[in-house]
Amino acid sequence: MAVSRTTSWTNSTGVVDYAHAAILRSVRITLTPTATAASYLQFFDAASATPGSDTPVASIVIPAPLNQGNKTRSFPFPSGIPFATGICSFVATAFNGGTAATTHAPAAVVVDFTPLA
């Protein structure tokens, strides 16, 4: 299994977690204790993506932790989710938006996947 870890995001720029076919196995999100609003982790089946222009294939709501400390949320996918072209991710202020979450962004997002290429 391979891992991609991201701690910051730039407007309209998807993070290339893996630029080839892969199976998404799980996602771990470390929440920022000072966040007061939700953000959204988007996934694109692409070798590169432009959030806000390209349509995500999946989006996970990242809740605000309400000052409960750095909590981690795990999202396992026991059967895996196939990505034919690549895995790109992005944390946005809206479920399909291109504006990067900043003050409400998680401290880290870890994407676990199995490369197929």
Rounded Cα distance, 97 and 76, in Å: 24
How many structural domains comprise the chain? Answer: 1
* CB-based contacts of 102, cutoff 8 Å, min separation 6: none
Which stretch of 7-11, 33-37, 78-82 has the lowest confidence by average pLDDT?
A: 33-37
pLDDT of residue 36: 82
Average pLDDT value over all residues in the chain: 91
Are 19 and 116 spatial neighbours (Cβ–Cβ below 8 Å)?
A: no
Instruction: Write out pLDDT tens, residues 13-48.
Output: 999 999 999 999 999 999 888 888 899 999 999 999
77's CB contacts (< 8 A; 6+ apart) are 24, 25, 26
CATH number of residue 42's parent domain: 2.60.120
Residue numbers of the domain that contains 10:
2-115
